[in-house]
Amino acid sequence: MRSPLLWLVVALVSAGLPSSASAGIPTEQLKGTTDKIIVILTDPELKGPSQAEKRRGLIRKTADERFDWDEMSRRSLGRHWAKLSEEEKKTFVDLFSRLLERTYMERVEDYSGEKVSYVGETVDGDYATVEMKVLTSKNTEIPVLNKMKKNGGEWMIYDVSVEGVSLVNNYRTQFNSILSKSPFSELLAKLREKVSEK
Amino acid sequence: MKHLCIIFPLAGLIGLLAPAFSWADGGADLVPYAFSQDFRGRAILAQASPAAEQGEDDLGPEGETLPDPLEPLNRAFFEFNDRLYFLVLKPVARGYSFVVPEKVRVGISNVFRNLTFPVRFVNCLFQRKLEGASEELGSFLLNSIAGMGGFFDIAGAAGVRKYDEDLDQSLATFGFGPGFFINWPFFGPSTLRGTFGLVGDGFLDPILYLDSSGAKWAARSVNLVNSTSLRIGDYESLKKAALDPYVALRDAYYQNRLKRIRE
């Protein structure tokens, strides 16, 4: 019978064990990037608004190594992608990537020492999912699922789900809603406006 | 006294806000969300294998969307809730958070969560999650006794899993579909099924059985302000990242419920 006391014992024992039983290359690469970013965020020399541009530049460069913004953009448009001209595709990817990067940047800069653990990985050919848990200061555990695709030797993230809410799906629903009522140029206009927001 | 007639309904309204903005918090909300058995089956399959989701064009699963025939009305309520949050709830929660340290606020949130143990317990039973029922029971007892009435989440610290089940999820496992999206003023996002769930779970909320309406109001208001204070910024982030915040919220609610029903 499971008792909380037994759980206490198990927790104490497993605290000494390695974090993930099935840590493969996708997890390692993800962890590598995440750790690099955490180092940047906790670097005392890079703190404060005066260092903001330099700090963000470094974070952006590191994030670009792991996030496939183009793929995220494509997937977020779903079935609309095929209907676009080359020009429209390019503009969209450019704008949307900037929105994603900025959103990511803002979330990441809120980092204040949360512990990140890697709890599981599944690999299926060129696709993988890596699950993380972020322990907040309020003692809540946020499950984050990273969906990755192998690109050459690098595993790149093409979707992130937090508490079951997929970023790509969420934007896709929004885009579908907008495109059901207005032309693509309207979507681009909204994106442009959003990206230039402060 | 005349002014009591104003104060109590107003207080009641504030009290009603308690579940309202809890959508972002996986634990606190009692809003259910149902989903047909058929799609659930497919969703489980998709989760099982990353490549299975990809499809020919690699554009990912389109998935089913939640019908929203009441969209104009829902949008209006969205605007209303938005104003209410920024003009009333957030300022109060911020003031509260300056006075009360975070650890205490987390403790208070633990107490309220501990109190809704009947909801989780009963719904675990409905869904035949016997392990969940027993673990929730164990956590409740441990936290109540050794955790000072639930203030300290000792079971959680020891790694005991949480089973955040509610009537909406139970109804979903019985095969009820969600119906359609309803964005309630005050209560926030829900569905037709979800609303039944909210009402049903309400009967299992111990606060309902407090003797005086003053006590009920006090409890609900404290819970609302306290839980909001722990989540300030979440809603703002959603708005900042979204092109259409209403749809972003509706979809986030939907996807989160799907996940909770699945597991």
Cβ–Cβ of B256/A138 closer than 8 Å?
Answer: no
A178 in a structural domain: yes
C-alpha B122/C-alpha B194 separation (Å) is: 16
**Helix H or strand E segment including A185:** helix A184-195
* B53: its two tokens: 């989701």
Q: What is the CATH number of the domain that holds A188?
A: 3.10.450.710
Query: What is the Cα–Cα distance from A73 to B54, expressed in whole angstroms?
Result: 15
| B227, B243, B261, best to mutate vs chain A, most A CBs in 10 Å | B243
Which of A113-119's residues contact partners 24+ apart within 8 Å by CB, and which partners?
A113/A42, A113/A137, A116/A34, A116/A38, A117/A19, A117/A20, A118/A19, A118/A20, A118/A23, A118/A27, A118/A30, A118/A31, A119/A19, A119/A20
Q: Closest Cα of chain A to B85: distance in Å?
A: 21
The count of CB pairs under 8 A between chains A and B is: 118
**How far apart are the C-alpha atoms of B68 and B218, rounded to whole Å?**
35
Q: Using a CB-CB distance cutoff of 8 angstroms, which residues of chain A are in contact with residue B251?
A: 165, 169-170, 173-174
In B100-212, where does DSSP find H-type helix?
102-115, 117-126, 130-145, 154-157, 167-173, 192-202
Structure tokens at B142: 């441990």
Residue A5's pLDDT band, with cuts at 50, 70 and 90, is: low
What does pLDDT average to in each consecutive run of 10 residues of chain B (263 residues)? 46 42 36 32 42 41 78 97 97 97 96 95 96 96 95 93 95 95 95 96 91 90 95 93 96 96 90
Domain membership of residue A1 (yes or no) is no
A97 domain-assigned: yes
Residue B120 confidence (pLDDT): 96
| Residues whose CB falls within 8 Å of the CB of residue B53, separated by 6 or more in sequence, listed in order | A127, B46, B60, B61
- The residue of chain B with its CA nearest to that of A103 is B241
Interchain pair A126, B260: CB under 8 A? no
Q: Which residues neighbour B23 within 8 Å (Cβ) at sequence distance 6 or greater?
A: B29, B31, B188, B189, B249, B252, B253, B256
Q: How far is B132 from chain A (nearest CA, A)?
A: 11
Q: Note the ipTM here.
A: 0.83
User: Mapped to the 3 state alphabet, what secondary structure does A129-157 carry?
Assistant: EEEEEEECCCCCEEEEEEEEEEECCEEEE
Residues of B within 8 A of A138 (CB-CB) are 102, 106, 109, 230
Tokens at A161, concatenated: 């789900």
Q: Which residue of B has its CA nearest to A77?
A: B59
Indicate whether A47 pLDDT > 90. no
Query: How would residue A11 be classed by pLDDT, with cut points 50, 70 and 90?
Result: low
Record: contact A2-B26, CB cut-off 8 A? no
List, in order, residues 6 or more apart from B111 with CB less than 8 Å away: B149, B150, B151
Residue A143 CA, distance from chain mean position: 12
Reduce the DSSP state of residue B44 to 3 states and report it. Answer: helix
Q: Is residue B130 within 8 Å of residue B124, measured between CB atoms? A: yes
Q: Is residue A67 part of a domain?
A: yes
Supply the pLDDT for residue B139: 96
Does residue A77 fall inside a structural domain?
Answer: yes
Cβ contact, residue pair B159, A7, below 8 Å? yes
Tell me the shortest Cα–Cα distance from A39 to chain B, in angstroms: 24
Q: Any alpha helices (H) in chain B, and if so which ranges? A: 2-16, 37-48, 71-84, 90-99, 102-115, 117-126, 130-145, 154-157, 167-173, 192-202, 213-229, 234-241, 245-262
With respect to residue A2, please indicate whether it lies within any of the assigned structural domains.
Answer: no
Question: B243–A174: do the CB atoms touch at under 8 Å?
Answer: yes
| Burial grade of A14 (CB within 10 A; 0-12, 13-18, 19 or more) | exposed
- Asked if B134 lies within 8 A of A178 by C-beta distance, the reply is no
Long-range contacts of A82-90 (CB under 8 A, 24+ apart): A82/B57, A84/A184, A88/A184, A88/A188
Best CA proximity match to B33, nearest among B186, B198, B163, B184: B198
Residue A39 lies in a domain: yes
Three-state secondary-structure class, residue A121: strand
Q: Is residue A73, in this structure, part of any structural domain at all?
A: yes
Q: What is the mean pLDDT of residues A20-24?
A: 61
Is B159 in Cβ contact with A11 (below 8 Å)? yes
Neighbours of A18 (CB within 10 A): 8
Interface test with B, best of A174, A180, A192, A197 (most B CBs within 10 A): A174
Among residues 117-136 of chain A, which lie with CB inside 8 Å of chain B? 122-129
Per residue in A113-154, pLDDT (tens digit) is: 889 999 999 999 999 999 999 998 888 889 999 999 999 999
Asked if A195 contacts A97 with a C-beta cutoff of 8 angstroms, the reply is no
Q: Which two tokens stand for residue A144?
A: 């984050």
C-alpha of A75 from chain center: 14
Whether the CA torsion B102, B252, A169, A164 is positive or negative: it is: positive
Total of domains in chain A? 1
pLDDT of residue A88: 93
**Tokens 């020492």, residue?**
A113
Which residues span the domain enclosing A191? Answer: 7-196
Cα B203 from chain centre: 16
- Chain A residues within an 8 Å CB radius of B113: none
- Asked if residues A103 and A114 have their Cβ atoms less than 8 Å apart, the reply is no
Give the pLDDT score at A109.
Answer: 84
Average pLDDT over residues A157-184: 95
